[in-house]
Amino acid sequence: MNPTCFSSLNLHAELLNNLATLGYAEMTPIQTRSLPPILAGQDVIAQGKTGSGKTAAFGLGLLQRLDVKRFRVQALVLCPTRELADQVAGEIRRLGRGIHNIKVLTLCGGMPFGPQAGSLEHGAHIIVGTPGRIEDHLGRGTLKLADVSTLILDEADRMLDMGFQEVLDRIIEQIPKQRQTLLFSATFPDQIQAIARRIMTQPVMVQVESSHDSASIEQHFYKVTDNKQRLTALRLLLLQFHPESTLVFCNTKKETQAVADQLMDFGFSALALHGDLEQRDRDQTLIRFANKSISVLVATDVAARGLDIEALDAVINYHIAHDAESHLHRIGRTGRAGSKCIACSLYDDRESYRVAQLEAGIDPILDSEPLPPLTLLDRPSMKPAMATLQIDGGKKQKIRPGDILGALTGERGISGQQVGKINVADNWAFVAVSRGAVKPALKKLTEGKLKGRSFRVRLIGD
């Protein structure tokens, strides 16, 4: 039997059958190396970048151990951001859909506390959440962790970067010492080693090569003289390569917002993502970038952690990352699923030493390329293919994605090919439509009905 096949693992039949229906046959390297000790009940430290398949690794482990008949919180997954928590909870639900009556709850900040407390009163098997909100629920007595047998710290390095060390300690104090602890991290700094020694028992260390795939990621380095030329260089690269979706990394929140604002002033389709944004604005920004109605997302490392963005064409480092592992994590967001992508890095004299430390074989002098010609600045910036419509109704009004698609493509409507991603939340929904179809789509949704009701619909962002 092939040791990289999921069928080689001692998993419940329901899990194996569901994996087959999801098209999961071969394990990724991190799954191949971490799942056997996870399923054996051992503590595991796994190091791997975003996109390595780590969520399925710990998700299958906790689902295998779950006793559905015991309606208690048996597994806790801690994540640094709400975006990652939502993504993880969604993947666990997909992996566990073959097992009846599993309840997964997401507890994150930026959402009303009351409905979360109400959901907890009805019980849950698995909790996925951010440290701050988990601590809030523990403090108010709405969450009990006395029956947790599996604790998972996902993107543990970023939780420590964001200052959650003491909060994590207080949460872990309320979990039984007799448990399985799984720690997943893209990097492995001293802080991670210290927390592992305190909370884990003889952990198995799993490290997956985190270097990028040079066959699928094309790296470019450009030297600039000052910040004025740095912004010009960014504009030139966007105009030269014409990527449909670009993630621009900045090192500070202030710079992130400034760069996004300046790109918009020059006519680019750009938005910023950083920790100072209100949760509603963060959600809307991510949805618009993921559904191709924004071309450029300017973000800090922390804000961009855990983003599940498909088909990312380019990553541009506006400044060089502080360390080699962060650089690899940034550029590793491109080149997934075998697609050809580019990673561009801008640096000045003060950052040359960082470039030299990124990877063996990179010479900041020899490997620097000339910037594209300034004549490109005369070109118009590329407009995104899609636009986003917001509907002021969602799950609580019984609206489903199929209802929105049906309303758009019904009699005298637009074609299904002109409809992109549909996101439905509790009280609102977003739908991406082709730019050329905005007017008829607005007319169809505004004049028609969803679930027999009329809802306010508007174009956002343009």
Q: Give the pLDDT confidence score for residue 409 in this predicted structure.
A: 83
Superfamily of domain 217-378: P-loop containing nucleotide triphosphate hydrolases (3.40.50.300)
Instruction: With 0.75 as the threshold, say if the pTM is over it.
Output: no
CB 67 within 8 A of CB 288: no
What is the pLDDT of the chain when averaged over all its residues? 87
What does the alpha-carbon distance between residue 192 and residue 184 come to, in Å, rounded to a whole number? 10
The boundaries of every CATH 3.40.50.300 domain in the chain are: 6-207, 217-378
Residues 269-282 have pLDDT tens digits of: 999 998 888 888 98
| Rg of the Cα atoms in the chain | 23
Q: Give the pLDDT confidence score for residue 359 in this predicted structure.
A: 63
Burial of 173 (0-12, 13-18, 19+ CB in 10 A): exposed
Superfamily of domain 6-207: P-loop containing nucleotide triphosphate hydrolases (3.40.50.300)
The boundaries of every CATH 3.30.70.330 domain in the chain are: 386-460
Ranges in the chain, pLDDT < 70: 1-2, 49-51, 161-162, 209-216, 303-311, 333-340, 359-366, 462
Q: Give the pLDDT confidence score for residue 329 in this predicted structure.
A: 72
| CA atoms within a 13 Å half-sphere pointing along the CA-CB vector of 237 | 32
CB 298 within 8 A of CB 316: no
Classify domain 386-460 at the CATH topology level.
Alpha-Beta Plaits (3.30.70)
Give exposure, 214-228, as e/b (b: 16+ Cβ within 10 Å). eeebbbbbbbbeeee
Q: Give the pLDDT confidence score for residue 26 in this predicted structure.
A: 85
Q: Give the pLDDT confidence score for residue 362 in this predicted structure.
A: 58
